[in-house]
Amino acid sequence: MLALDLASNSKVIHAIETWIRRGTPIAMVCHAPAILRDARKPNGEPLVKGIAVTGFTDAEDEELGLTPHLLFSLEKALIQNGANFRRSARNWQPNVVEDGTLITGQNPASAGPIADALVARLAQIADVVAHQ
């Protein structure tokens, strides 16, 4: 199952919505932010409305010839839902965007940096817990 397929999976959507409400760090890279497309805030607004995110761009999809094979444009779907979609200046450059507990990476080059960001976030949480 691809990330784009998971965008309409009710169990995945419920998990994402629950984790965001609980303040659980969530990291996703490449097409995985598609999972955010149908997720909602408690008030019914799109989860990404007003939130900075990134993911595989339309230009990167096009460059790989993926566009005709995708269920939807990740970039357009997130922007349509009110996300502040942030792209790197050039395709294939690492790009990690953190907003609240959500950590998103643009492309495969972002995998290492997003892992580092998640480890740093988890270390902060462990430090807080250790000092309680």
- 2 pLDDT above the threshold of 70: no
Residue 1 has a pLDDT of: 47
Q: Which amino acid is at 6?
A: L
Whole-angstrom distance, CA of residue 70 vs CA of residue 64: 12
Give the closest residue to 32 by CA, choosing from 80, 98, 109, 103. 103
HSE value, Cβ hemisphere, 13 Å, CA-based, for 79: 12
Range of the domain at 70: 3-130
Only one residue has tokens 């080059």, namely 109
Domains identified in the chain, total number:
1
Q: Is the pLDDT of residue 4 over 70?
A: no
Helix/strand/coil for 34: helix
Q: What is the CATH number of the domain that holds 110?
A: 3.40.50.880
Distances (CA, A) of 16 to 19, 23, 41, 104: 5, 11, 10, 13
Amino acid 64: pLDDT = 95
Confidence band of 7 (pLDDT split at 50, 70, 90): confident
